[in-house]
Amino acid sequence: MVPAAFVTLEALPLTPNGKVDRKALPIPDQVRPELEAVYLPPQTEVERTIANIWQEILLIEEIGIHDNFFELGGNSLLLVQVHKKLQQKYQHLSLVDLFQYPTINYLAKYLTQKEYKEKSKSKSVQENARQNKSRIASINRRKQARQSYRTAKQKSSKS
């Protein structure tokens, strides 16, 4: 495993016993690491939601939409935490999706398309149901018209 951050020290803090005093070690800066991707802030609501969750989990203040989760210091265990938080808003999101779309930009596009498809599918189902009701009503009207015609024809043949 590669450390998420490096801190340069002149000397390690030691306990009276001569061991490294871990509690006295400085906390790494919560600054975005130097990445190849140029920083571009989140633009849409979906991107802001994802970025806020990443910031909370990764403890980094600025996260761009083209930053890779794993290059920012994320790992599979942290990704599970991100998945849990994102799933509260996007129930259809799987953990595999997070591995497949490791940047905010790609993940936001995927989630937006998925939501659009879900809404379209729902509208399509509703439209089909409405059309089926209309067809059934039309069939029933035709049956009733035929029945009325037969009844009228029988009455005229009896007279």
Residue 36 has what pLDDT? 67
Residue entry with tokens 């996260």: 63
| CATH code for the domain of 63 | 1.10.1200.10
Other Cβ atoms less than 10 A from the Cβ of 24: the count is: 10
Residue 80 in any domain: the answer is yes
What is the pTM assigned to this prediction? Answer: 0.56
Per the DSSP assignment, residues forming a β-bridge with 103 are 68
Residue 7 has what pLDDT? 77
- What residue numbers bound the domain in which 89 lies? 44-123
> Residue 27, CB half-sphere, CA atoms under 13 Å: how many?
5
Question: How many domains are there within the chain?
Answer: 1
CB 28 within 8 Å of CB 5: yes
Residue 80 has what pLDDT? 95
Residue 35 in any domain: the answer is no
Residue 57 has what pLDDT? 93
Residue 4 has what pLDDT? 61
Other Cβ atoms less than 10 A from the Cβ of 108: the count is: 22
Q: For each successive 10 residues of the chain (159 residues), what is the average pLDDT?
A: 72 91 79 68 92 92 89 90 93 90 92 70 70 84 86 76
Residue 10 in any domain: the answer is no
Residue 102 has what pLDDT? 92
Other Cβ atoms less than 10 A from the Cβ of 7: the count is: 10
d(CA 22, CA 11): 13
Residue 82 has what pLDDT? 95
Residue 71 has what pLDDT? 85
